[in-house]
Amino acid sequence: MSHGPAPRFIGRRVELGTLRWRLECALNGKASAVAIGGEPGIGRTALLDALAGTAARLGFRHASGRGHPGKREVGFGVVQQIIDELAAPEARASAPRPVEGPGALLPDPGAEPDDRTVSAVFASFDGLLADAGARTPLLVTVDDAHFGDPLSLRCLAHATRRVREVPFVLVITYDETEPEADASPLAELTATAHRVSLTGLGRDEVAEFVSRATAPEVVDAETAQACHRVTDGHPLLLEELLGTLRQERPTGLTPQLVLDVGARNVAQWLRARLSRCPEAGAIARAIAVLGDEADFGRASALARLDLDDACARVDRLVRLKLVADGHPLRFTHSFFRGVILDGMAVGTRIAWHTRAAELLYESRAPGDAVAAHLLHGDVTRQRWATAVLRDAARHEVARGAPHRAAPLLRRALDTRLGGAHRAVVLRELGSAELATDHAAGTARLRAALAAAPDADEAAHTTLLLASALVSAEANDEAAALADHAAGWLGDTDQGTAWQLRAVAYQAEQGRLATAALARERESGLLADAPDDPRLLQTWSAYLAHRHSRQGHNREATVRCADLALADQQLSVADRPHHLALLALLYADAPALADPVLSRLGRAAERGGQLRSRALVPAFRGAFARSAGHLADAVAHLRTADGLLVSWSGGRRTHEGSWCAALLAEALVEQGRTGEAHELLAGRGLSARLPDLYHHNWVLYARGRLHLARGRHDEALTDLLECGRRLEEWQVENPAVLPWRSQAALACLAVGERERARRLAGGELAAARRWGTPRAVGVALTALGRAEAGPRATGVLDEAVAALRSSPARLELAHALYALGVACRGRGRLAEAREHLTAAGVLGQRCEALPLVTRTAEELAALGPTPSATASGVLLTRQQRRVADLASGGLANKDIAVRLGVSLRCVEFHLSGAYQKLGISGRRELHRALKGLAPGGRGSAG
């Protein structure tokens, strides 16, 4: 039999390498036999074809046979095929003597040979193979040996034991799933052979298979992975899948399309496989229904089979490669379970799941396993169903999966519930739904409150509902409900009553029309610290927020915020603890906030609540913006914004509006004003806004956006409205929102310099009371811009000095820019260049494109850099003083003390000097300074 070039063969590199090694051993006189097993369609024949090509290239002669299910009774049928190929005309032409010998001894088809004839054929066939192998290396292959006739299989087994000293290799393939695989003749043949068991192709091999089959279309990695997931690398299933896909959609394959079409193909394939053993259907359904709990005893009990019948049927499924050979019982392919369940009529499926739940409950299986079947079974039959479902839901919530708790609680509502228990389940369900769907959770909690049988249940439901209503901007309703619930409780539960009054306070504080009521309530609520440790933390959060709003005592603010956030089990969604994080933001305390946010982030991921998962990146974005890391801020805030939109279903919430405002303001600093405008407009935040507290951030962001787009009158309107509202709320701290400094810039743009001075001066006074360098520096920057002449540069010098000791890198860049412009106006060009260059460098680090552009324009207007010394190096006076002291051996701390400046200021000036002198550090400083004139010469200003 002649062979052409070997076909391109995907995968099976290990198996083909093993077979090639066997051929090479045969060339050295070592005969062998190989048995290749696998399920139907796994690629046994393709591997034989590839082997034949390899053998031909190595100089082997090849003779082959194939078993056939309709010819098992034809004695020596497979052997006859091999003899015929060895005796073919081309074989005879090259042979020195005939090779028909064994054929003459074969009995007529259908005749039953006696033992003597069988022995004679065996011996003659051995001689034929030995003679052929002695002349030319010989490969004999038999495909589908499980369908071969018993006499041929015995003859081949005999040959493998006798033909040993010539280059001869026998390779057979057989179906491991057929019962005949263990029958005596085939077992005799495979017993002494080297076995190769074929499994599915690997991920990379499937990707190559798909790539070749779909060329010239390029298929992405995810689509190729979906093909592997659906077929498990089974070559025949893969070919059928791709064929179906070509018919349904010749181009544009997607992972989802592959999964949808593949599920149908797998279903057809599985039904065909199961049709070979219909008696195993019941145990297969039991395994499918039980899923992960499918141990043998439970599966046999669910299928209502006795031990022997269950064993036989499981063994048959294992033989068919449908069930893995292990315990507990599981299917070999992830799709099989779904296919079998989908094939069960709905009534049958309900009945089987109900029996499975009862079986597991009676055997004291874990409640989660029982509940999984109650989800799909009849829950009206068992009195214990409600408790099992509620316990399983609590476990899911504790594991951080409230989305999995909700279906369990919805199913619990279908059980035989009394009125009081129904209200509790509705509350638990509302809480679980609130984690991922604000609107659904709120509606469910309303129903729970309506069903509450007593004041205690109503109070606990109201705590959840009122907080949800505050998020939905329904502050008045939230406050009224909380007050009513607290009144119902009276003195029976003072802790819960305090929490309800606190929620009412927060709701009133969030709306300008009721802010005065909130202040009256605040004096009583915060007068005395609660004894309960958890309530003490809540009290501390409210107190930190009050201190930060008033802006009088930064130290007390930080102390209260730190206490409020000390609980290791705290969630960022627990009201009002996010207020403590805001207090740390205003206090410029990122070092305290960062470990808290890391802890809260881990808890949020475990807890599965979208609001919690959103608030952590929202606060990270706020702190990143405060440090001038605009790219990080935008990334965090976009993540938070997306999660909040998912949580709210696109409806407006106070968390969503606050986050959108922060994101818009960061985009403005990056120069992405179009995106900022679209964001605010898309959230309905461009029109007139209700008098809700979080809308102050929207007004501020809108004002900054109008300023950046040159709409100064609109900017002034929004910023002054923001200020009016904050003043009515008695928010005096400019660290909350520095609206006055931004309004001052708008005033300057419309020619109202005196008004700008008053606004900036008022902010500066408040900032000094608060005491953070950022707040002081921002106010000084605005005031310096509003001033003129020496007064302007003096104020801006002070602003730069203040901001250098703060984490506010972007605000420092703005101050340096303003100082550079002021110095240029006074003709101090060297200093102007120095400050503008520093502003540009910081602006680039912050990725504040508008600022970078403005500094570049100002620097260009200054003209080329003058050469002030013979070496061309220009240091400012302060840089020269710091450099001289450092060159003299003083440490940075000592220089700071000597000059009366901050350590950060020393580091800043040294860094600038190094850059100008073209050196990397102190070791080169003495040498570099030798080229400069002492004192003022070689220094700017």
Residue 630 pLDDT greater than 60, yes or no: yes
Which residue segment(s) compose the domain that 574 sits in?
529-607
What pLDDT sits at residue 72?
82
Degrees (nearest 5) of the Cα angle 530, 534, 539?
50
Interval 34-67: pLDDT, tens = 999 988 888 999 999 999 999 999 999 999 999 9
Range 93-116 average pLDDT: 59
323 DSSP 8-state letter: B
Q: For 254-263, 278-287, 523-532, 638-647, which range has the lowest pLDDT when averaged over its residues?
A: 254-263
* Boundary-marking domain end, from 225, 242, 275: 275
Domains of the chain: total: 7
Question: Is 519 in the same domain as 540?
Answer: no
Contact in structure between 619 and 593 (CB atoms under 8 Å):
yes
First to last CA, the chain: 98
What pLDDT sits at residue 94?
43
Residue spans of beta strands (DSSP E) within 317-359: none
Question: Is 498 in the same domain as 598?
Answer: no
Residue 110 pLDDT greater than 70, yes or no: no
What pLDDT sits at residue 89?
54
Residue by residue, DSSP assigns 551-573 as TS-HHHHHHHHHHHT--TT--TT
What pLDDT sits at residue 95?
41
What pLDDT sits at residue 241?
84
Question: Is 777 in the same domain as 658?
Answer: no
Interval 431-459: pLDDT, tens = 999 988 999 999 999 999 999 999 999 99
Residue 171 pLDDT greater than 50, yes or no: yes
Question: Is 629 in the same domain as 715?
Answer: yes
Sign, CA torsion 466/471/476/479: positive
* Boundary-marking domain end, from 582, 607, 632: 607
Residue 497 pLDDT greater than 80, yes or no: yes
What pLDDT sits at residue 529?
87
What pLDDT sits at residue 358?
93
Do the domain assignments include residue 99? no
Question: Is 50 in the same domain as 158?
Answer: yes
What pLDDT sits at residue 5?
34
Question: Is 78 in the same domain as 177?
Answer: yes
* Boundary-marking domain end, from 540, 573, 607: 607
User: What's the whole-model pTM score?
Assistant: 0.71
Question: Is 159 in the same domain as 74?
Answer: yes
How many whole angstroms separate alpha carbon 764 and alpha carbon 812? 16
Do the domain assignments include residue 138? yes
Tokens standing for residue 776: 């002081």
Do the domain assignments include residue 303? no
Name the phi and psi angles at 622, rounded to 5. Answer: -65, -45
Do the domain assignments include residue 713? yes
Q: Is the peptide bond before 576 cis (omega within 30 degrees of 0)?
A: yes
CB environment 798-807: b (16+ within 10 A), e (fewer) = bbbbbbbbbb
Interval 279-326: pLDDT, tens = 888 999 999 999 876 889 999 999 999 999 999 999 888 888 888 888
Do the domain assignments include residue 448? no
Q: Using DSSP bridges, classify how beta strands 939-940 and 875-876 pair: parallel, antiparallel or unpaired.
A: parallel
Contact in structure between 811 and 789 (CB atoms under 8 Å):
no
Range 908-930 average pLDDT: 71
Query: What stretches of 363-471 show up as alpha helix (H) in DSSP?
Result: 367-374, 385-398, 402-412, 419-434, 438-451, 455-471
How many whole angstroms separate alpha carbon 253 and alpha carbon 250? 8
- Average model confidence (pLDDT) across the chain: 87
Contact in structure between 232 and 333 (CB atoms under 8 Å):
yes
Question: Is 556 in the same domain as 625?
Answer: no
Range 5-31 average pLDDT: 81
**What dihedral do alpha carbons 753, 756, 760, 763 form, nearest 10°?**
160
Counting residues of the chain whose pLDDT is more than 70, the rounded percentage is 91
Residue 240 pLDDT greater than 70, yes or no: yes
Range 550-560 average pLDDT: 94
Range 234-253 average pLDDT: 80
Residue by residue, DSSP assigns 606-657 as HHT-HHHHHHHHHHHHHHHHHTT-HHHHHHHHHHHHHHHHHHHTT---HHHH
Do the domain assignments include residue 621? yes
Do the domain assignments include residue 422? no
Do the domain assignments include residue 260? yes
Q: How crowded is residue 724: how many other Cβ atoms within 10 Å of its Cβ?
A: 13
Residue 799 pLDDT greater than 70, yes or no: yes
Helix (H) or strand (E) holding 592: helix 590-607
Question: Is 514 in the same domain as 538?
Answer: no
Residue 102 pLDDT greater than 70, yes or no: no
143: domain CATH number is: 3.40.50.300
Question: Is 826 in the same domain as 894?
Answer: no
Question: Is 46 in the same domain as 137?
Answer: yes
CB environment 433-446: b (16+ within 10 A), e (fewer) = bbbbbbbbbbebbb
Q: Which of 866, 870, 867, 882 is nearest to 933 (CA)?
A: 870
Range 184-195 average pLDDT: 88
Question: Is 77 in the same domain as 132?
Answer: yes
